[in-house]
Amino acid sequence: MTTITLTSTAIKNIFDELHQSMNGALSVKVKEHILDIDNEFGRGKIRGVTFKSGISLLEFDVKFIQDLTLRVGSSEHPPICFAYCLRGKVTHSFGSQSGKKVLENFQTSILTNKAYEENILEFAKNEHIKISLIVVNTELNTDNPKKHSLNYRIQKSFMMGKPAQNSIYIGSYNLKIADKIQQLEAIQERGIVRSLMIEGLVHMILAYEIQQHADDQKRDAQNNGNLTLKEMNAVRDISKAILNCPEKPHCIAELSRQAGLSPGKLQEGFKRMHGTTVSDYIRSVRVEKGEELIKTSDMNISQVVYSVGFSSRSYFSKIFRQKYNCSPKEYKEKQQSMALSA
């Protein structure tokens, strides 16, 4: 077991101390810190960036060779932390308390702690961990809420003007957040464009985390059940099948049979993970695939319509306009015009 102590939640300090403890290669580009590790500690990457709003993103994509404990100190004004586990699991506890909670893959978590309380994160050896932490600084001047409006609203919602207490909320499984994190990983742009794209996606992930918390509270009040990890994995597999082959004639009965779930449970899973019904998810995936083909292929509109699983060009045009504010034909003409002027 290896233990590393981090004295601050500020991104620069975190990476300076991680680099000092783990070695590896540390680089900083437009305030984005990246620590590449390939040594006796493990193999992988840790990334972090702080935005002007006082919101930071910290990502672990790593497999540690030995059990690792991170002891993270806090200040008089500890931050609010929103966590999402995309792969593996991480165990959390407070320094002054013995109880532990486990954040599993596809689960959300919201964490607050008392002033100067230590947070302890435990990572198991030889397990690929992918976890994203969005850290909201509470030391900003809340007397001027307009200056940092998002930060202020988050503090108001979760702290209600009171001193922070030790609290960790483990939420339901959510695949919408996983999709956004994968979009983060896919960003190829550099410089200020990259920073703006990362910040935009972080705000979306944060919105999904907050909405998940609200939905879970409502569901708890109504005494509804939760999806099990096995059921969540089944829904994830069906989602991937639809995403990979949107043109297939998917129907609820057959998808339920493949998932080993009742139609009602499958619908519940899609509502929890995608915020929509199975049918609406299929329709959305088909439209997005159609948009991609219009942009990247030489197909005409009719060919695109049928290749993504629609049987009516007029219906495709209707829902395409709802999503992209123009017809497929207009969209194609815009893409061609942009290509000629490039």
pLDDT by residue for the chain (342 residues), tens only, comes to: 899 999 988 999 999 999 999 999 999 988 899 999 999 999 999 999 998 888 999 999 999 999 999 999 988 888 899 998 989 999 999 987 778 899 988 888 889 888 889 999 999 999 999 999 999 888 755 455 555 567 777 777 776 666 778 888 887 767 778 888 888 888 988 888 988 999 999 999 888 888 877 777 776 655 445 677 788 888 989 999 999 999 999 999 999 999 999 998 899 888 877 878 999 999 999 999 999 999 999 999 999 999 999 999 999 999 999 999 999 999 998 888 877 765
The burial class, CB within 10 Å (0-12 / 13-18 / 19+), for 73 is middle
Q: CATH number of the domain that 74 lies in?
A: 2.60.120.10
Residues 66, 24 share a domain: yes
Q: How many whole angstroms separate alpha carbon 206 and alpha carbon 134?
A: 7
Q: Do residues 140 and 55 make contact, with C-beta atoms less than 8 angstroms apart?
A: no
Q: How many whole angstroms separate alpha carbon 43 and alpha carbon 218?
A: 41
Q: CATH number of the domain that 240 lies in?
A: 1.10.10.60
Residues 119, 240 share a domain: no
Q: Which residues pair with 94 in a beta bridge?
A: 119
Specify the pLDDT at position 288.
94
Specify the pLDDT at position 328.
94
Q: How many residues does the chain have?
A: 342
**Number of compact structural domains in the chain:** 2
Q: How many whole angstroms separate alpha carbon 303 and alpha carbon 299?
A: 6
Specify the pLDDT at position 42.
94
Q: Which domain holds residue 289?
A: 229-341
